[in-house]
Amino acid sequence: MPDRELTMLETAHAYFNETCDLLDVEDGLRQVLLNPWRQLSVSVPIRMDNGEIRVFNGFRVQHNGVRGPYKGGVRYAPAADAAHTNALAMLMTWKTALVDIPFGGAKGGVQVQPADLSEGELNRLTRRYTGAISHIIGPQRDIPAPDMGTNAQVMAWMMDAFGQTNGYSPGAVTGKPIELGGSYGREAATGRGVCDIAMLAAADIGIDMRGATVAIQGFGNVGSFAGQRMVEIGAHVVALSDANRAIYDPAGLDMEEVLAHNARVGSLENCPLGEVITNEELLELDVDILIPAAIEGVISTENAEKIRARLIVEAANSPITYGADAILADQGTTVIPDILANAGGVIVSYFEWAQNIQRFRWTLNRVNEELYTTISHGFDRAQEMAKERDLTPRKAAYAVAVGAVAKATELRGFI
Ligand code: NAD
């Protein structure tokens, strides 16, 4: 066990190397699968509303394209540097392989605090960033999507900027508004998929979802839709948080009221519901299911032993550090890894891309049904591997995913 917390990229590499040891992947092939195929670093200068020029750092990392066009979100966050983007791109390769959709893995990022920019500044930033990476993206090359700090509006600007030089290309970006070729159900897809997976995992370890207690950290795209869906399926969401406030009510929070407050204020700040607790306390609550849906590294070696939830569903990417993962495994906590738990977003992005290419729109019912079919297939594959080789859900999910990409690489015969 390392004597310090691993970074997100070191964590991604550590899980990958452990999996290669398990699967006996030869050294040369490991290098092909470990290293990103292309890493682009760009400068994104824009004129601010006050007339000043500011330059932001942008990245697009294409980790592996052996199974199809690269696919992955774009994150606007101060921490979205090269190493971060690289780690997230690698996770995308395993995620698409695990749920068996025909994409590789990529990720983009701009080091910016989006809340500090006006709408006009964000529009200009997005266009400039898209222009800088447009020679390596496109419907058959690499298809960006929303992630932290970006949303359907940002995707609409990206599609427009890409289309200015490439012609009308809705399939170049997913997570678009419905009016511009977005898919029904895409906005809610990641949160819905988190709940699909939570239901399957809960059934497996004997938690009844009806009446199960749930704590969710992060009330953005993923956390808010996961919360709504949890209530729909009969669970009690007892705690919620965002970067501004965490709230707790053991009897269950009124989701309608929380959503109304969030829509009115733009965050949970000053939300009058429940008791105010800290984000750290939320993670340590005695609940059946904990859903970290905000940022990375929130469960670390500092607090892992204090986690009391029986089941953790990783809605965020990499919310548990490498060291904490081992502690949780030792104490018998079931952890469903990010590459499975939050795959709903990329799955419905795949449906959106397919609809765009076919110029055909699916109904919401069809999207949700096919989402369940696809994500539960990923769950079954990982379960089967876990039982066969006596592995944790994370190790099993990695074994399925890395094995699939290794096999596809061999079949392509380019090395
Ligand atoms: P978002 O920007 O919509 O929301 C993030 C939320 O986290 C906000 O409520 C914010 O206030 C909160 N937050 C930020 N820092 C926090 C902190 N220190 N403590 C508590 N809360 C904090 O982002 P999102 O799209 O919901 O993404 C959340 C996570 O899910 C990220 O890790 C992202 O990579 C992952 N993810 C998102 C998608 C998607 O489709 N959006 C898909 C797969 C994975």
Which atom, in ligand 1's list, is nearest to the CA of 88? 34
**CB-based contact 96:339 (threshold 8 Å):** no
Question: Using CA of residue 304, residue 309, residue 311, residue 312, what is the dihedral sign?
Answer: negative
Burial class (CB in 10 A: 0-12, 13-18, 19+), 388: exposed
3 state DSSP class of 369: helix
Test site for ligand 1: of 279, 295, 303, 314, most ligand atoms within 8 A of the Cβ? 295
Q: Which residue's CA is the nearest one to ligand 1's atom 39? A: 147
Q: Indicate if ligand 1 lies below 6 Å from the C-beta of 319.
A: no
The two three-digit tokens of residue 161, written as one number: 């900027």
Rounded Cα distance, 392 and 414, in Å: 33
Rounded Cα distance, 198 and 162, in Å: 37
pLDDT tens digit at each of 415 positions of the chain: 677 999 999 999 999 999 999 999 999 999 999 999 999 999 999 999 999 999 999 999 999 999 999 999 999 999 999 999 999 999 999 999 999 999 999 999 999 999 999 999 999 999 999 999 999 999 999 999 999 999 999 999 999 999 999 999 999 999 999 999 999 999 999 999 999 999 999 999 999 999 999 999 999 999 999 999 999 999 999 999 999 999 999 999 999 999 999 999 999 999 999 999 999 999 999 999 999 999 999 999 999 999 999 999 999 999 999 999 999 999 999 999 999 999 999 999 999 999 999 999 999 999 999 999 999 999 999 999 999 999 999 999 999 999 999 999 999 998 8
Test site for ligand 1: of 148, 216, 314, most ligand atoms within 8 A of the Cβ? 148
Which atom, in ligand 1's list, is nearest to the CA of 75? 34
Rounded Cα distance, 103 and 361, in Å: 21
**CB-based contact 121:81 (threshold 8 Å):** no
Q: How many CA atoms lie within 13 A of 335 on its CB side?
A: 31
* Domains of the chain, earliest start first: 8-13+23-169 (3.40.50.10860), 187-332 (3.40.50.720)
Q: Indicate if ligand 1 lies below 6 Å from the C-beta of 314.
A: no
* CA of residue 215 to ligand 1 center, whole Å: 15
pLDDT in tens, 210-220: 999 999 999 99
pLDDT in tens, 182-232: 999 999 999 999 999 999 999 999 999 999 999 999 999 999 999 999 999
